[in-house]
């Protein structure tokens, strides 16, 4: 994963997560889920972060769900990468549902599958 697929930063008391994979309509992969988990865990006890905002770069949509190309390729083999992805994605979803700070998602355009999963707790 390029570090730029998920951009995290703190701005004016808001932990901001920007999905930055516009050519794939921000289709999620394991590294992206893990980057979001890492940021959320770091911000959970950080008094400088009062809330979390999830948005996306570009104009095509919020998130097309899981990276179906990776899932199909993994499924053609032993499916270990797909299983690891879904494990990370569901850990992220759970963390967001029990998160102690407000989460807001800027959802527009295409939103499917895993994109719904990360916007639902918001």
**CATH number, domain containing residue 49:** 3.90.226.10
Range of the domain at 108: 3-119
- pTM reported for the whole predicted model: 0.93
Q: Quick one: pLDDT at residue 33?
A: 98
Check pLDDT > 80 for residue 22. Answer: yes
Q: Which two tokens stand for residue 62?
A: 């919020």
Q: Quick one: pLDDT at residue 73?
A: 95
Q: How many domains does one find in the chain?
A: 1
Check pLDDT > 50 for residue 46. Answer: yes
Specify burial of residue 84 (Cβ count, 10 A radius: 0-12, 13-18, 19+): middle
């Amino acid at each position: 994963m390029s570090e730029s697929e998920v951009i995290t930063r703190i701005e004016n008391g808001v932990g901001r997560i920007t999905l930055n994979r516009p050519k794939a309509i921000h289709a999620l992969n394991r590294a992206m889920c893990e980057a979001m988990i890492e940021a959320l865990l770091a911000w959970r006890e950080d008094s400088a972060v009062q809330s979390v905002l999830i948005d996306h770069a570009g104009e095509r949509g919020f998130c097309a769900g899981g990276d179906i190309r990776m899932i199909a390729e993994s499924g053609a083999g032993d499916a270990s990468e797909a299983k690891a992805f879904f494990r990370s994605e569901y850990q992220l979803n759970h963390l967001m549902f029990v998160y102690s700070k407000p989460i807001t998602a800027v959802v527009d355009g295409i939103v499917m599958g895993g994109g719904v999963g990360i916007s639902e707790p918001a």
